[in-house]
């Protein structure tokens, strides 16, 4: 089971599915359904396009890995993974978000904390980020506090669907 903050003992375990804790529900593999941002004016945007795909995996021993991509990235001309042209590498990285590391759950506040041990975006390495967690059936929504970019405030939300065990495909 995931590492759980001490607040769980003080505040009791809060869940939204027949008494099952977030720490228990989150473990497993999830396929991306939607990755969007909503601005303070209500405009919806898609940072990696409306067809973004991805996986997030939470292990029972307290580690997570998130991989999200824009599916229409340019293929490398070279068959060698490390030999792409600079423009190919730039396009590939610009259309991809990836990080992994330990995670912990704060049941009382419905939050999961992601620690970036490794990240495609080097500025995140060593960072710890808060994600609010909501469940609805086989869907999980992760969101963060609003982000301010210049004069715009964006609220990101990622909707995930639990994958079917052994298939790597979302449950139907």
Residue ranges of domains in the chain, CATH in brackets: 3-162 (2.40.128.280)
Give the pLDDT means over successive 10-residue stretches in the chain (172 positions).
37 53 96 96 95 98 98 92 90 96 97 98 97 96 92 95 73 57
Q: Give the per-residue pLDDT at 150.
A: 85
Q: Give the per-residue pLDDT at 94.
A: 94
Q: List the one residue out of 66, 33, 39 whose CA is nearest residue 52.
A: 33
Q: Give the per-residue pLDDT at 27.
A: 97
Q: Give the per-residue pLDDT at 12.
A: 34
Q: Give the per-residue pLDDT at 4.
A: 41
Q: Give the per-residue pLDDT at 168.
A: 58
Q: What SS3 class is residue 32?
A: strand
- H or E stretch covering 23: helix 22-26
Q: What is the DSSP letter of 58?
A: E
Q: Give the per-residue pLDDT at 72.
A: 92
Query: How many angstroms separate the CA atoms of 105 and 131, rounded?
Result: 10
Q: Give the per-residue pLDDT at 125.
A: 97
pTM for the whole thing? 0.84
Query: How many angstroms separate the CA atoms of 64 and 127, rounded?
Result: 14
């Amino acid at each position: 089971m995931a590492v759980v903050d001490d607040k769980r003992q003080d505040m009791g375990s809060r869940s939204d599915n027949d008494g099952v804790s977030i720490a228990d529900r989150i473990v497993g593999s999830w396929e991306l359904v939607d990755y969007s941002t909503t601005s303070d004016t209500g405009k919806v945007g898609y940072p990696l396009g409306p067809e973004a795909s991805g996986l997030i995996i939470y292990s029972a021993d307290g580690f997570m890995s998130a991989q999200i991509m824009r599916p229409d990235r340019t293929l490398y001309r070279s068959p060698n993974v490390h030999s792409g042209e600079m423009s190919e590498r730039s396009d590939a990285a610009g259309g991809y978000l990836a990080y992994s590391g330990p995670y912990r759950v704060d049941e009382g506040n419905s939050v999961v904390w992601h620690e970036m041990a490794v990240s495609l975006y080097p500025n995140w390495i060593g960072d710890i980020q808060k994600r609010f967690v909501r469940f609805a059936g086989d869907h999980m929504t992760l969101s963060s506090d609003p982000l301010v970019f210049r004069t715009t405030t964006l609220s990101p939300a990622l909707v995930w669907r639990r994958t079917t065990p052994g298939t790597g495909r979302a449950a139907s």
